[in-house]
Amino acid sequence: MSIPVTGAVDRAAAGGPMPTQLQDLRNALGMFATGVTIVTAGNLTTNPIGMTANSFSSMSLDPPLVLWGISRSARSFERFQSAPYWTVHVLSVEQEALARRFATQGADKFAGLAITEGFGGVPLLDGCCARFECSAAATHDAGDHVILVGAVERFNRRNVAPLVFRGGKFAIALDSSNGSWQSSGAAERQEHL
Ligand SMILES: Cc1cc2nc3c(=O)[nH]c(=O)nc-3n(C[C@H](O)[C@H](O)[C@H](O)COP(=O)(O)O)c2cc1C
């Protein structure tokens, strides 16, 4: 049996929320399953940057805008915040190791990868489900993060199963098909046979 956890964030308390409140809040937020992306920026040859991000969201179709949030404590924070272009890679189930690598501070993130050059010279990774090449459109303060909004300049898509993140763990998605479940994208693949 699962035990329900409820909580209120005591914002009036001096010094901010207690660590247990933060952990409960983090656990509750973790119930929101997301995809997993790697965002890259900079230049292919001169010091490219990249990080794993699950705060990605589509925002507007007309004009086409997407957004994600970067922590002010990220090493690459200043460079992402001022980057004129950045690219969001939506990862496939095959790319969990890459997600872990790009979430590791100090890792040699691009070592050994087949990289090509995209819009604005931004490094592009292979093998993802979708890619959105963006020009920076706006930034918004958001507490310990900054929200980066991008205008989609180019995009592409491959019909492969996406990587999922939920409850602090990587996971897979299943599609519902008339009450039965099958691996994500399988129905669409059959329709195209
Ligand atoms: C699944 C997952 C999602 C993440 N999402 C974000 C995110 O949206 N924004 C963020 O700033 N950090 C996020 N992180 C943490 C960064 O990937 C990590 O801190 C990274 O090393 C930061 O890059 P840096 O080397 O520039 O510090 C996430 C980590 C994981 C494992």
User: What digits encode the pLDDT tens for the residues 136-154?
Assistant: 999 999 999 999 999 999 9
- Which amino acid residue places its CA nearest to atom 18 of ligand 1? 103
β strands within the chain, DSSP E: 34-35, 37-41, 49-53, 57-60, 65-71, 85-90, 116-117, 123-124, 130-142, 145-157, 163-166, 169-172, 174-177, 180-183
- Which amino acid residue places its CA nearest to atom 10 of ligand 1? 70
Question: Tell me: the pLDDT tens digits for 68-118?
Answer: 999 999 999 999 999 999 999 999 999 999 999 999 999 999 999 999 999
Distance CA(86)–CA(80), nearest Å, equals: 8
Q: Provide mean pLDDT across the span 54-61.
A: 98
Q: Name all residues whose Cβ lies below 6 A of ligand 1.
A: 36, 51-55, 68-71, 74-76, 103-105, 165
Instruction: Provide the pLDDT for residue 13.
Output: 59
Domains of the chain in start order, with CATH, are 34-191 (2.30.110.10)
- Which amino acid residue places its CA nearest to atom 5 of ligand 1? 53
Q: Which of 129, 102, 127, 81 lies closest to 39, judged by CA?
A: 102
CA of 126 from ligand 1 middle (Å) equals 20
Q: What atom of ligand 1 comes closest to residue 165's alpha carbon?
A: 1
pTM of the model: 0.93
Question: Tell me: the pLDDT tens digits for 101-112?
Answer: 999 999 999 999
Q: What atom of ligand 1 comes closest to residue 145's alpha carbon?
A: 11
- Which amino acid residue places its CA nearest to atom 7 of ligand 1? 53
- Ligand 1 pocket: which of 71, 101, 145 to mutate (most atoms within 8 A of CB): 71
Which pair of tokens denotes residue 8? 């209120």
- Which amino acid residue places its CA nearest to atom 9 of ligand 1? 70
